[in-house]
Amino acid sequence: MPRLALTAKTVVALRAPTLSGKSEIHWDYGDDAVRGFGVYCSGTTSTKSYIAQRDIKGRSVRVTLAGVNEIGIKEARNRAAALQLEMRQGRDPKVTASCATLEATLDEFRAKRALKARSVDSYNDLIKRHLADWLTLPMTSITRTMVETRHNEITSEVENRFREKARASAQRYRDRAHKAKRWPEAQQRYFELAEKAESREPPNGFATANATMRALRALFNFAIDRNPEIGTNPVKLRGQWKDVPPRERLVRADDMPKFYAGLMALENEVARDYLLLLLYTGLRRREAASLRWTNIDLAAGTIQIPASNTKSGKTLKLPLVADVRDMLIKRRKLGDGNFVFLASSKSGHIEEPRFALEQIAAHSGMYVSSHDLRRTFLTICESVDLPMLAMKHLVNHSVGRDTTSGYVIMNVERLRPLAQRVADKIKELAGITGRKPKN
């Protein structure tokens, strides 16, 4: 392995992946060198890490200190010197690392994995909600039997929690019904919603159980990659993953007039316009909620969601259909706020439109979620014979690995008449005739 006087400049100059395609270690050399300290360069990825290595009882032990982009050369050399002293005394730092708890592994995972904040927060929520009593356990003490047992227990936990929420929701609708005595029609709808809430079948919890164990599996893979002495990953579950059927709830064609009327009856204009945008574009809840005016070009008639805000990690650029453009022009005249859908939330924009959807349900007798509107949009896309490739581009789905599809460039102007065709179909289903004049 080559030797090199490691400095901030020489470390930056090292190549990763290497030209040879094989991993290389550049050992520290010079007056300030620490024996056994070096930089590991991957042969296949851009990974460059500081390492410390020494023989302990005739066995070579190598420890990864940090990525070269995480700490400076001086701190890395100091860490290496401290570890060398520890190893010289016969203590293996990897054995100590194998005692890391689930909570410590989760914290390190959140700090070092290059994942979107939303994904990392999801891992954090799943682990701390469903494996809270495991947080203080060493990773090595979590067994396959424990994993299999907890996987089944989570399904019951989710079902029981849903029943409690359903009872609370039913009581909330009854309270609103009693307050709506002056409006018999609305009162009757609230009573009907209360009955539906109580009779609704609870989810089986399969999706949550699977997601929790996938998160735990990722944490074990992360820990084992840094310390193989932890052993094998206990999250096997071969043949035991729960079968999760796809959801099918949406606004059906026959229900569109009632739903649209309930939507337009909302007194909260921010929530109304936000849900209209979801219906006409199929955007995901967070993509639309965090929309800024800098993402919208009213003159060009386009809307752009940056890659940092999309689930796919790809920028999404869409044409504005006529009714959405008119709605945005009207909203723009209300003020110069940063976000399109301002709210008094911590983020500064609308977050969860659950209350607005409950109001629509009270008006129409049907409850749908934000994601159900995305399913509705795609179903209408198919009903007007949009090409599958265009549908995928409109909702930012992967086009797959088909070579031909990869060559097709679907620009905004190609999508504009197709998106308008879908918008016109929505208005037709809602019973809207003609179009209001432009603002």
Look up the CATH number of the domain holding residue 293: 1.10.443.10
Are 143 and 275 found together in one domain?
no
First to last CA, the chain: 71
| Domain-located, residue 243 | no
Are 20 and 123 found together in one domain?
no
| Domain-located, residue 418 | yes
Which of 404, 290, 395, 302 lies closest to 351, judged by CA? 290
| Domain-located, residue 125 | yes
Q: Which domain holds residue 336?
A: 253-430
> Residue 302 corresponds to which tokens in the numbers above?
């386009």
Are 133 and 281 found together in one domain?
no
Are 213 and 305 found together in one domain?
no
d(CA 373, CA 104): 39
Q: How many domains does the chain have?
A: 3
Residues contacting 237, CB < 8 A, separation 6+: 147, 148, 151, 213
* 139 phi and psi angles, rounded to 5 deg: -55, -35
Per-residue pLDDT in tens (0 to 9) along the chain, 439 residues: 678 889 999 999 999 999 999 999 999 988 888 989 999 999 988 999 999 999 887 888 888 888 898 889 999 999 899 888 888 887 777 665 556 889 988 988 887 776 776 777 788 889 998 999 999 888 888 888 899 889 888 888 877 777 777 788 888 888 888 888 888 888 888 888 888 777 766 566 788 888 899 999 999 998 888 777 777 899 987 766 766 666 778 999 999 999 999 999 998 999 999 999 999 999 999 899 999 999 999 999 999 988 888 877 788 899 999 999 999 999 988 766 789 998 888 888 998 888 899 889 888 888 889 999 999 999 999 999 999 888 998 988 876 666 656 556 678 898 999 999 999 999 999 998 755 444 4
| Domain-located, residue 28 | yes
Supply the pLDDT for residue 98: 55
| Sheet containing strand 296-297, strands side by side | 296-297, 302-305, 316-319
Are 59 and 159 found together in one domain?
no
Beta bridge pairs of residue 41: 24, 48
| Domain-located, residue 265 | yes
Are 225 and 290 found together in one domain?
no
Are 216 and 308 found together in one domain?
no
Supply the pLDDT for residue 70: 86
| Domain-located, residue 283 | yes
Are 89 and 37 found together in one domain?
yes
d(CA 402, CA 421): 26
d(CA 378, CA 392): 9
What CATH number is attached to the domain comprising 18?
A: 3.30.160.390
Are 206 and 332 found together in one domain?
no
| Domain-located, residue 107 | no
